[in-house]
Amino acid sequence: LSVFCKSVDSSLRIGDLALASSLLEQAFELLSVSGDNLSEQEHASLLGRRASLHIHRGSYSDALKVAKHAFAILAVTDCHLEVANLQMTMGVCHHRLGRLAKAEEFYFDAASTFRRVGDERGVAISQNNLALLHKNACRWDKAIQIQKQAIATAEHFGASHLLSRFQLNMGIILRK
């Protein structure tokens, strides 16, 4: 099942939504024929990927519903990285649905959880999302401050693949 999760994650990262959808269906099928052999946590991990797929398709309300269900299961486990990803997912959903205060709360929570598990990439992306939220709310100084933090975090752990996007976002913020 972990191979399915990693494959879905990779498919989403490269934008192959058809492959991600197919892999998710195969994984859920495997889950159904396995019966009680797979845990509720594994089911929730797949639900988190389904929520991400909904986001990529622009179905934010559906993504939020699925993410909340997965979060309810995983929040009481030791799957902190999965929880952080779900917090980010719910933040993105609220952000896209125009619920900025709720999105900000989830982005902060995600950043804290990513920090707790030592996932600097997740921290940097959370900071980037927070900066964009502040840009959208016309809080320019706060957006610039947080975007600088995102860039510094990405530079610190050598995430050159994130820096171009973060620098572009800084340019967009400064242009406003």
Q: How confident is the model over 6-30, as pLDDT tens digits?
A: 999 999 999 999 999 999 999 998 8
Q: How confident is the model at residue 105 (pLDDT cuts 50, 70, 90)?
A: very high
Confidence band for 38, pLDDT divided at 50, 70 and 90: low
Mean pLDDT, rounded, for 97-122: 97
pLDDT band of residue 100 (cuts 50, 70, 90) is very high
Whose CA is closest to 103, among 148, 159, 74, 63? 63
Residue 138, number of CB atoms within 10 A of its CB: 9
pTM: 0.91
Q: Report whether 41 contacts 74 (CB < 8 A).
A: yes
Averaged over 76-89, what is the pLDDT?
96
Under the banding of pLDDT at 50, 70 and 90, the label for residue 65 is very high
DSSP string, 27-44: HHHHHHHHGGGS-HHHHH
Contacts of 117 (CB under 8 A, 6+ apart): 80, 81, 84
126/95 Cα distance (integer angstroms)? 12
Quick check: 34 pLDDT over 80? no
Answer yes or no: is pLDDT of 36 > 70. Answer: no
Residue 1 pLDDT greater than 80, yes or no? no
State residue 16's pLDDT score: 97
Distances (CA, A) of 111 to 13, 134, 171, 172: 20, 16, 23, 22
Output the average pLDDT for the chain: 95
